[in-house]
């Protein structure tokens, strides 16, 4: 049996790209009865970027509601809020003291963020050690992540190995499972869909807003309605095909190539498809957002389970390093 663990930063309501690229594959993985799985909301990491208490709280809820809306089973997966297990911050401190400053200075994500963000705080710099603590605290074996997180996983392995070298086998050295980026979902502008690019599709929005966003933000060319169109050059078609079943996408490609089928028709189909496909998750999402006490309850049970593992690991660590 392997222990799978992954975290999601709570920096906003998950969009279509997050859902298809991260949420659905992780839920699929958590269903494998051979594994046990830990999934948490990295709200301590979010503090590096979010300083409004209200937003910090609200994002945690909307991320939790999204995972539950898409079928995460909190009975099978330990589902918790990072900040509910403060043992993690304590472990992060120990790891900081065993990891060379010069190595942290090489982190791509710090370089990237410090060149983009106004608030370049020390939390951003030690972010990889908090992430290492998230993983090592639970003796995780496998950590599914996107490619951008690979260096953080290498640092986790590095700090664990350094400490294991000094204090025999204190930590389980985890392995990354890299999610294939063939599921790279384009945004309304054709670039990678991302919260920071203002090109997202929020499937939890009401139907009227969704319609407005798709009609207004997805850019198409002005080939006349009657003319044949090439689906392979169309971002609208790409978006349709990542959501649609194969035969639906095939039919739309055929319609576009035949002519007499305009971008307006294609947008209408995309809107209808998203509304149909995400109807049930949207209802569930809204249910949880209107009943946050249910989210608190689920996360509290998760925190309790997580804490019982975390306290044991931390006791082992404290004893070993001299406290
Ligand atoms: P964002 O770029 O919107 O801030 P995050 O960096 O918070 O998204 O990503 C959260 C997870 O969603 C990551 O695992 C990432 O790989 C995945 N993800 C984000 N955007 C996309 C996308 N456009 N297509 C596929 N997966 C994505
Ligand atoms: N840094 C990760 C991201 O931005 C989120 C994260 C925090 C994480 N702690 C983790 C992922 C531990 C995996 C394991 O996507």
Structure tokens at 83: 């900040």
What pLDDT score was predicted for residue 180? 72
Q: How far is CA 228 from CA 80, 249, 254, 258, in A?
A: 51, 16, 10, 5
Taking the centre of ligand 2 as the mean of its atom positions, its distance from the CA of residue 42, in whole angstroms, is 7
CB 194 within 8 A of CB 200: yes
In CATH, the number for domain 205-277 is 1.10.240.10
192 is catalytic: yes
| Burial class for 165, CB neighbours closer than 10 Å (0-12, 13-18, 19+) | exposed
CB contact at 8 A, 124 and 117: yes
Least distant ligand from the CA of 124:
2
Q: In angstroms, rounded to a whole number, what is the distance separating the alpha carbons of residues 152 and 129?
A: 8
CA distance 64 to 240: 26
Does the annotation mark 113 as catalytic? Answer: yes
Catalytic choice (31, 76, 105, 113): 113
Residues 310 and 78: their CA atoms lie apart, in Å, by 12
CA of 73 to the centre of ligand 1 (A): 22
Stretch(es) of the chain classified as CATH 3.40.50.620: 2-185+292-321
Q: Whose CA is nearest to atom 22 of ligand 1?
A: 17
Ligand 1, atom 7, residue with closest C-alpha: 9
* 7 CA to centre of ligand 1 in angstroms: 12
User: What is the reported pLDDT for 182?
Assistant: 58
DSSP collapsed to 3 states, the chain: CEEEEEEEECCCCCCHHHHHHHHHHHHHHHCCCCEEEEEEEEHHHHCCCCCCHHHHHHHHHHHHHHHHHCCCCCCCEEEEEHHHCCHHHHHHHHHHHHCCHHHHCCCHHHHHHHHHCCCCCHHHHHHHHHHHHHHHCCCCCEEEECHHHHHHHHHHHHHHHHHHHHCCCCCCCCEEEECCHHHCCECCCCCECCHHHCCCCCCCCCHHHHHHHHHHHCCCCCCCCCCCCCHHHCHHHHHHHHHCCHHHHHHHHHHHHHCCCCHHHHHHHHHHHHHHHCHHHHHHHHHHHHCHHHHHHHHHHHHHHHHHHHHHHHHHHHHHHCC
pLDDT at 251: 97
**Which residue's C-alpha comes closest to atom 6 of ligand 1?**
194
d(CA 194, CA 24): 17
**What pLDDT is recorded for position 9?**
93
Would you identify the CATH topology of the domain 2-185+292-321?
Answer: Rossmann fold (3.40.50)
Which ligand minimizes its atom distance to the CA of 63?
A: 1
> How much is the pLDDT for 147?
85
Distance 316 CA to ligand 1 centre (A): 35
Ligand 2 binding pocket includes 131 (Cβ within 6 Å): yes
pTM of the predicted model as reported, rounded to 2 decimal places:
0.94
Which of 25, 131, 154 is the pocket-test mutation for ligand 2 (most atoms within 8 Å of CB)? Answer: 131
CB 122 within 8 A of CB 132: no
Length of the chain in terms of residues written: 323
Among protein residues, the one with the nearest Cα to ligand 2's atom 10 is: 7
Residue 179 pLDDT: 77
Spatial distance between the Cα atoms of 312 and 167, rounded to a whole number of angstroms = 17
Low-confidence ranges of the chain (pLDDT < 70): 181-182
Q: Which segments of the chain belong to CATH 1.10.240.10?
A: 205-277
């Amino acid at each position: 049996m392997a222990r799978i663990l992954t975290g999601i930063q709570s920096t906003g309501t998950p969009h279509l790209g997050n859902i298809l690229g991260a949420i659905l594959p992780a839920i699929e993985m958590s269903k494998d009865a051979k594994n046990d799985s830990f999934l948490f909301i990295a709200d301590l990491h979010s503090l590096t970027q979010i300083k409004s208490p209200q937003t910090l709280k609200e994002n945690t809820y909307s991320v939790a509601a999204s995972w539950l809306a898409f079928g995460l089973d909190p009975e099978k997966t330990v589902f918790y809020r990072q900040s509910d297990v403060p043992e993690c911050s304590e472990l992060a401190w120990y790891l900081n003291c065993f990891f060379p400053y010069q190595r942290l200075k090489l982190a791509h994500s710090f370089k990237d963020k410090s060149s983009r963000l106004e608030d370049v705080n020390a939390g951003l710099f030690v972010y990889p050690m908090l992430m290492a603590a998230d993983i090592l605290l639970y003796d995780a074996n496998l950590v599914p992540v996107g490619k951008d997180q690979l260096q953080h996983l290498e640092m986790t392995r590095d700090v664990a190995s350094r400490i294991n070298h000094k204090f025999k086998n204190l930590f389980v050295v985890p392995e990354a499972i890299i999610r294939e980026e063939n599921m790279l979902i384009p945004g309304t502008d054709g670039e990678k869909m991302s919260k920071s690019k203002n090109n997202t599709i929020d499937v939890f929005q009401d139907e009227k807003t969704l319609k407005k966003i798709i009609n207004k933000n997805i850019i198409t060319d002005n080939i006349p309605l009657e003319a044949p169109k090439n689906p392979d050059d169309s971002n609208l078609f790409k978006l349709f095909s990542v959501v649609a079943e194969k035969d639906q996408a095939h039919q739309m490609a055929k319609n576009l190539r035949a002519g007499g089928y305009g971008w307006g028709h294609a947008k209408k189909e995309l809107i209808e498809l998203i509304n149909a496909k995400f109807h049930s998750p949207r209802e569930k999402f809204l249910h949880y957002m209107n009943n946050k006490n249910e989210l608190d309850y689920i996360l509290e049970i998760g925190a309790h389970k997580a804490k019982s593992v975390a306290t044991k690991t931390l006791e082992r660590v404290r004893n070993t390093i001299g406290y």
